[in-house]
Amino acid sequence: MSGEADHSTPRPAPDAQRTEVGRGVLRSGAAESSAQSGAQSSAAASAGKGMVLEAVGGRYRILLDAGQRITAFLRGRIKQEARTGDRVVAGDRVHVEPVDDDEGWVIESVMERERELIRAGPRGRRPRVVAANIDQVVVVMSAAEPPFQHEISDRFLVLAESCFIDPLLVINKMDLENGSSLVAPAVQMYREIGYPVVLCSAATGEGLDDLIRALEGRLSALVGPSGVGKSSLLNALDPSLELPTRTVSRRQGRGRHTTVAARLLILDTDIRIIDTPGFSEVTAWGIEPEDMDANFPEFRQVEGSCRFRRCSHVHEPDCAVKSALEAGAIPQERYESYRRLLEE
């Protein structure tokens, strides 16, 4: 993701910051109910609206606005529609209609998405929509086992920033030996940048009240590398979920996937979360090299003072970002993450 700087024109004063994405409380659902057959035979069974809970093998589990949980198929013509990445994902709002008893329900149309969390698919050839209509991206990392890594957390934060969705950084496993001291510098750095950070432990319950307050009333996407304890956190928030968990591989020092497909869960409290599989690769989709700096809030605060309009903040003279870096206003770790992303 490298590019040449434009030295021909002095940089003008920056425009207003990026548009803030509105927040809405979206209704969602949990596991499919055995009452589906009753819903189909209900006198009220007619065209309705709902939210997709999960897509598995061409079948879509949906929570209708009326409260029924159903399984539906995708109408053939929708497969031909031009959409970003996957046609229907967890969090999508859809129109459904009942068909004959043998087939159940069918998705007639998919409503326009207010927001979508998009990352690059395999080998970066196409976009992949992770979740739709979410209010925030919850980036889960661990204090240890596996160890906290700045580059990985920065990649997830850039992913959220590039989609104009509020990020929340959650650091799990704070109960492990030296957990607090291991992540203290990173916690201070991210908080000074302006990111909300929650420290917690699924094992002891530490910090769970803070996490609940950050999640209540919003539709969140839970993302992070494998092994950081995403499923364990969900079980701690709502033991009735009974999600499977696995230990970190000692040989490789990393986690193993327990979530295989994105699914929307509803917890006992007013919390709705789209649980996503652990990411083996984290690459944002569609960021031009000259726009990479827009995904680093601390860069946005000073880049308007760069001498050149298309400053890459790498080799140009009179670069406000490099000056802030030298003065300690921009953390070295964050600048290194920026450089690596820029070079991809």
Contact 143, 111 (CB under 8 A): no
CA distance 321 to 38: 61
Tokens of 139: 């980036």
The CATH H-level (homologous superfamily) assignment of domain 36-110 is Nucleic acid-binding proteins (2.40.50.140)
Answer whether 36-110 and 289-343 agree in fold: no
Those residues whose C-beta lies under 8 Å from the C-beta of residue 210, and which sit 6 or more positions away, are 198, 199, 200
The CATH H-level (homologous superfamily) assignment of domain 116-275 is P-loop containing nucleotide triphosphate hydrolases (3.40.50.300)
The per-residue pLDDT for range 163-212, each reduced to its tens digit, is: 999 999 999 999 999 999 999 999 999 999 999 999 999 999 999 999 99
What residue ranges do the domains of the chain occupy? 36-110, 116-275, 289-343
* Type and span of the H or E element at 297: helix 297-300
Lowest mean per-residue pLDDT among 265-269, 289-293, 294-298: 265-269
Which residues pair with residue 61 across a beta bridge? 54, 71
Contact 152, 169 (CB under 8 A): no
SS3 category, 277: coil
62 vs 44, 68, 265, 268, 277, CA distance in Å? 17, 8, 11, 19, 19
> What's the whole-model pTM score?
0.81
The per-residue pLDDT for range 206-240, each reduced to its tens digit, is: 999 999 999 999 999 999 998 999 999 999 999 99
Read off the pLDDT of each residue in 272-294 and give the average, rounded to a whole number. Answer: 86
The per-residue pLDDT for range 108-127, each reduced to its tens digit, is: 999 999 999 999 877 667 88
CATH code, 289-343:
1.10.40.50
